[in-house]
Amino acid sequence: PKTDIVFLKVHKSASSTVMNILFRFGETHNLTFAFPTGGGNQLYYPHHFLARFVQGYSPKSPQRFNILCHHMRFLQPEVQKVVSSSAFYFSILRNPVQLMESSFVYYKGASAFSHVRSLEEFLRQPYHYYNSTRGDSHYAKNLMTFDFGFNPNGEASPERVQLMLKAIEASFDLLLISEYFDESMVLLKEALCWDLDSVVSFPLNIRDNSTKSPLPDTIVEKIKDWNRLDWEIYTGGQAVGARQVELARTCLQGRAHVAPKDIKDSSLRPLQHGGAKILGYNVKQGLDKVLERTCRRLVTPELQYSSALYKKQFVPRPP
């Protein structure tokens, strides 16, 4: 079991539940925690993390702690001063739409939210209320981006986004997704080589449903746009899903499955069995040969694919 761990506790993302898991494991195995000086709850957040924020740290005789999991704004060179070089780094992401809705309710006293009655009102003219120079402005825009140590007000250019995602990928061994919490716990259990009971938990620090309400589509899109960097981190953290969307856009006519009668290429038509209607796909016309082959492989039904592979593996000998 891994015992040297860094958890970046992203705000409003089921991170309190994960922290409880780490507390329990550390207590059971007599591990040391990198506590904030004076026994506080945060490592001088929202400042970037510094090793001197940790109780018991001294540059003259640096002590390595097993678990670092309290709220901080990530800065890896400083983190490396207080944990083992072999520490396992992980964090958790949340859909920025739900994250901002939760932040608006939870941090209603923050400067950007304190004078508006609703999230919709804030998003109508956000710069009327939002001032990036205020010390608590990070709660109102790209909160995940801020917690990962980046500038939440930076330009969301493709080049900058790629640099940000590469930096996260280089620093973290695993990114959990709060919307898939149980599946994330399975991944965490396997990555840490822990037993099942170590990752079982009860949800903590959750809101009562009476304070929640569904958001209109127009508001959802405004939240995504306002938190563009967070959205890029979130979709980048779900690389498989993001790549699937990208390939669907590239490969498919209509980007969705169609009824059997509407599949134009009969070699891509799935077997219809019993009373079920098995759907299939149409590949876009005019793709280059390499891309067309990639796309066809993605949508070829199992019977046709199996037959093609059999013929490839057992090439018939000429008479």
Examine the domain organization and report whether 133 and 241 are in the same domain: yes
Does residue 319 lie in a domain region? no
User: How much of the chain exceeds pLDDT 90, in percent?
Assistant: 71
Range of the domain at 66: 5-251
Does residue 268 lie in a domain region? yes
**Boundary-marking domain end, from 251, 278, 297:** 251
CATH assignment of the domain containing 140: 3.40.50.300
pLDDT in tens, 82-139: 999 999 999 999 999 999 999 998 999 999 999 999 999 999 999 999 999 999 999 9
Examine the domain organization and report whether 149 and 286 are in the same domain: no
Does residue 193 lie in a domain region? yes
Examine the domain organization and report whether 240 and 305 are in the same domain: no
pTM: 0.77
Does residue 106 lie in a domain region? yes
For the record, the structure tokens of 233 come out as 């981190």
Examine the domain organization and report whether 227 and 275 are in the same domain: no
**Boundary-marking domain end, from 199, 231, 251:** 251
Examine the domain organization and report whether 163 and 226 are in the same domain: yes
Q: Domain tally for the chain? A: 2
**Boundary-marking domain end, from 200, 230, 251:** 251
Query: Nearest 5°: phi and psi at 205?
Result: 60, 40
More confident residue, 238 or 3: 3
Of these ranges, 147-161, 239-253, 299-313, the one predicted with the greatest mean pLDDT is 147-161
Examine the domain organization and report whether 290 and 231 are in the same domain: no
Examine the domain organization and report whether 224 and 286 are in the same domain: no
Of 73, 86, 121, nearest to 5 by C-alpha is 86
Does residue 284 lie in a domain region? yes
The rounded distance, in Å, linking the Cα atoms of 246 and 286 is: 18
pLDDT in tens, 53-91: 999 999 987 889 999 999 999 999 999 999 999 999 999
